[in-house]
């Protein structure tokens, strides 16, 4: 392939990278948006009906804590839906999930009649945590792509890659050691054979 087609191939690759970036950005942004609305919904439920939640989990007496968690969820959801950079809000959700899981572990006692519900809730929060983590990581990675400095003009070839492609091809098979002085017999023979050509 000549330098011209090499350049067009690399441009093609850059276009592909940009297209992949846009695809990933769309998908991650969609997940973040969904998690934002989920946060608002869960937050509202926790804030408005803490008794229902604590009863279902067999954790009566912790209504104030659940209400606080509801406020946290709503704030996080609002952040996710409004911020340009959603990654910190997603990491915030991951932290909140850890708190939820720690709290749910209190409902795992054998004496809790609603222990099965607490286990089910833990599994669900675990799954949501995985989704939060994935989306946060993905958006962080994309931010890195977005912030990457542009070195696309740094070819290192002042005359252009096309002008110098293959300019050193006579050097392409010079791994044979170059004897500075007193070359051994086989090297002298090779040199004379080349000279005779």
Partner 1 sequence: MKALRWHGKHDIRCDSVPDPRIEDDRDVIIKTTSCAICGSDLHLYDGFMPGMESGDIMGHEFMGEVMEIGRDVKKLKVGDRVVVPFTIVCGECEQCRRSNFSVCERTNRNKKVGDAVFGHTTAGLYGYTHLTGGYAGGQAEFVRVPYADVGPVKIPNGLTDDQVLFLGDIFPTGWQAAVQCDIEPTDTVAIWGAGPVGQFCVRSAILLGARQVVVIDRVPERLSMAAAAGAITINFEEESVVERLNELTRGKGPEKCIDAVGLEAHAGSSIDSMIDRAKQAVMLESDRPHVLREMMYVCRPAGTLSVPGVYGGLIDKVPFGMAMNKGLTIRMGQTHVNRWTDDLLRRIEEGQIDPSFVITHRGKLEDGPALYDTFRDKQDGCIKVVLQP
Residues that bind partner 1 (CB under 8 A): 1, 3, 6-7, 9-14, 17, 20, 141, 144-145, 148-159, 161, 164-169, 171-175, 177-182
Question: Could you tell me the smallest distance in angstroms from the CB atom of residue 86 to partner 1?
Answer: 20
Question: Could you tell me the smallest distance in angstroms from the CB atom of residue 84 to partner 1?
Answer: 20
Question: For partner 1, which is the closer residue by CB, 7 or 33?
Answer: 7
Closest Cα to residue 89, out of 144, 130, 32? 32
103 contacts 65 by C-beta, under 8 angstroms: yes
Question: For partner 1, which is the closer residue by CB, 61 or 177?
Answer: 177
CA 148/CA 139 separation, integer angstroms: 14
157 contacts 163 by C-beta, under 8 angstroms: yes
Question: Could you tell me the smallest distance in angstroms from the CB atom of residue 141 to partner 1?
Answer: 8
Question: For partner 1, which is the closer residue by CB, 62 or 143?
Answer: 143
CA 122/CA 145 separation, integer angstroms: 35
Question: Could you tell me the smallest distance in angstroms from the CB atom of residue 19 to partner 1?
Answer: 11
For residue 135, what are its two tokens? 């989306």
CA 73/CA 42 separation, integer angstroms: 7
Question: For partner 1, which is the closer residue by CB, 169 or 194?
Answer: 169
Question: Could you tell me the smallest distance in angstroms from the CB atom of residue 46 to partner 1?
Answer: 36
Residue 2 gets the label, from left (phi > 0), alpha (psi -120 to 50) or beta, of beta
132 contacts 94 by C-beta, under 8 angstroms: yes
Question: For partner 1, which is the closer residue by CB, 102 or 174?
Answer: 174
């Amino acid at each position: 392939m000549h330098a011209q087609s090499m350049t067009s191939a690399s441009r093609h690759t850059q276009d592909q990278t940009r297209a992949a970036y846009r695809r990933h950005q769309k998908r991650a942004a969609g997940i973040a948006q969904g998690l934002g609305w989920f946060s608002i919904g869960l937050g509202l439920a926790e804030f408005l009906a803490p008794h229902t939640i604590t009863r279902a989990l067999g954790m009566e007496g912790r209504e104030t804590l659940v209400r606080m968690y509801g406020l946290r969820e709503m704030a996080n959801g609002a952040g996710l839906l409004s911020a340009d950079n959603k990654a910190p809000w997603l990491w915030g959700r991951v932290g909140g999930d850890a708190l939820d899981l720690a709290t749910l572990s209190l409902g795992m006692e054998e004496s809790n009649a609603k222990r099965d519900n607490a286990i089910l809730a833990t599994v669900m929060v675990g799954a949501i945590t995985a989704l939060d983590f994935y989306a946060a990581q993905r958006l962080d990675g994309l931010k890195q792509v977005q912030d990457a400095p542009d070195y696309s003009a740094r070819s290192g070839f002042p005359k252009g890659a096309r002008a110098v492609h293959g300019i050193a091809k006579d050097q392409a098979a010079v791994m044979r050691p170059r004897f500075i002085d007193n070359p051994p017999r086989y090297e002298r023979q090779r040199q004379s054979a080349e000279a005779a050509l």
